[in-house]
Amino acid sequence: MIFKHIPVLLNEVLKLLCIKPEGIYIDCTVGEGGHAEAILNVIHPKGFLIGIDCDKSVLEITERRLEKFAGSFKLVHNNFLNITDICSRLNIKAIDGIIFDVGMSSYQIDNPERGFSFSKNGPLDMRMDRSSILTAQSLINNLSCDELAEIFFKYGEERYSRRIASRIVAERNKKPIQTTSDLVTIIKKAIPLRRYRIHPGTRIFQSLRIAVNNELEDLSAAITYGFGLLKKEGRMCIMSFHSLEDRIAKNKFREFKINEQAKIIYKKPLTPTKEELDKNIRSRSAKLRVIEKK
Ligand code: SAH
């Protein structure tokens, strides 16, 4: 089987989770199961892994990838926000380690139908969980100019938020904005392109994705719930791909430390080595933070 997503910082995660063969672990963002497979290689058959993902379609692939570890894992289609409930339904009271590898997978971004990519034309969807209702298209076509500008500024740190939002409102009054290409064309018309070192769609697409999937609020709450499930000396790894997510991890960990509930393993987040960057360009913005419960 060939998998689209190359797991990021895999060796670092394995080492820092301090995996015990008889331990119980949760992969909150199991995706195609890259990290999960590596963990199961250590814990099967004595330990147990719960793999959660809100994208149902990927779980069929992951189930097949992991079938050699049957009996040692359970895949769950759900939002990681419901982690406490998921554990209690599986009769699991405490865990030895937990990992969040947040954001999109290559499996999602490479499929134009999902609407995550500004470089491939597709519907403006951006839902990680396709059973949820809210899409990027509905936000773009229904929110007020102020609301759109706020999303672009807050979740994309886009300095031309207002200009882009006004342009969107003007264009959608002529005809509904339906595709990723429609949106990219509008963004390009709204801003001074020479000021951009990155693709001008980067920040807008990021902000819409965060809003559609309620990513920051869900991550923040799930860190608290996940930490609550950890045993003493259990570890939590959080891998993030942009500064807003990393800030949440950093602040949450600081809070646990101040309350003397945890010890921070590295003050500065770990980043990929040059060797990993050469092999996997998508690892370039990864940051890994780790704490241990006291
Ligand atoms: N570690 C995986 C890749 C994870 S990519 C691997 O090695 O293959 C991130 C995954 O997290 C995606 O599949 C996405 O659908 C999932 N995800 C993002 N937010 C989520 C949430 N709130 N709840 C559950 N899964 C989520």
Does residue 189 surpass a pLDDT of 90?
yes
CA gap 160, 200 in Å, rounded: 10
d(CA 84, CA 23): 18
Q: How far is the CA of 169 from the centre of ligand 1 (A)?
A: 32
* pLDDT tens readout for residues 3-19: 888 999 999 999 999 99
Q: Which of 111, 128, 213 is the pocket-test mutation for ligand 1 (most atoms within 8 Å of CB)? A: 128
Cβ within 8 Å of residue 281, ≥6 positions away: none
- Confidence at residue 3, expressed as pLDDT on a 0 to 100 scale: 82
- 134-148: burial string, b at 16+ Cβ within 10 Å, e else: ebbbebbeebeeeeb
Pick one of 1.10.150.170, 3.40.50.620, 3.30.70.20, 3.40.50.10470 as the CATH number of 112-213.
1.10.150.170
Give CA 192 to chain center in angstroms: 30
pLDDT band for position 163 (50/70/90)? very high
Domain ranges across the chain: 10-107+215-293, 112-213
Residue 120 in this model has a pLDDT that exceeds 80: yes
Q: Evaluate whether 23 touches 97 at the Cβ level (below 8 Å).
A: yes
Regarding the beta carbon of 105 and ligand 1, being less than 6 Å apart is answered: yes
Regarding the beta carbon of 101 and ligand 1, being less than 6 Å apart is answered yes
Number of residues that make up the chain: 294
Give distance in angstroms: CA of 100 to centre of ligand 1: 8
SS3 content of the chain, % helix, strand, coil (to 5): 50, 15, 35
Distance 52 CA to ligand 1 centre (A): 8
Given this chain, do its domains 10-107+215-293 and 112-213 carry the same CATH topology? no
CA of 290 to the centre of ligand 1 (A): 18
Between the CA of residue 37 and those of 22, 73, 147, 181, 182, what are the distances in Å? 16, 10, 41, 36, 39
150 lines ligand 1 (CB under 6 A): no
Q: What's the pTM value of the predicted model, to 2 decimals?
A: 0.96
- pLDDT level of residue 233 (50, 70, 90 thresholds): very high
Residue 37 in contact with ligand 1 by CB distance below 6 A: no
Q: What is the model's pLDDT at position 4?
A: 84
Helix (H, G, I), strand (E, B) or coil at 64: helix
Q: Which long-range contacts (CB under 8 A, 24 or more apart) does 269-275 make?
A: 270/9, 270/12, 270/16, 272/8, 272/9
The type of residue at 41 is N
The confidence band for 274, taking pLDDT boundaries of 50, 70 and 90, is very high
Class of domain 10-107+215-293: alpha beta
* Ligand 1 atom at minimum distance from 36 CA: 7
Pairing of strands 287-293, 262-264: antiparallel
Average pLDDT rounded to a whole number, residues 244-271: 97
Is 1's pLDDT higher than 80?
no
Residue-wise pLDDT for 132-152, tens only, equals 999 999 999 999 999 999 999
pLDDT digit string (tens) for 52-67? 999 999 999 999 999 9
* Buried b / exposed e along 149-182 (16+ C-beta atoms within 10 A): bbbbbebbebebbbbbbebbbebbeeeebbbbbb
- Amino acid residing at 214: N
Contacts of 155 (CB under 8 A, 6+ apart): 206, 207, 208, 210, 211, 216, 244
71: helix, coil or strand?
Answer: coil
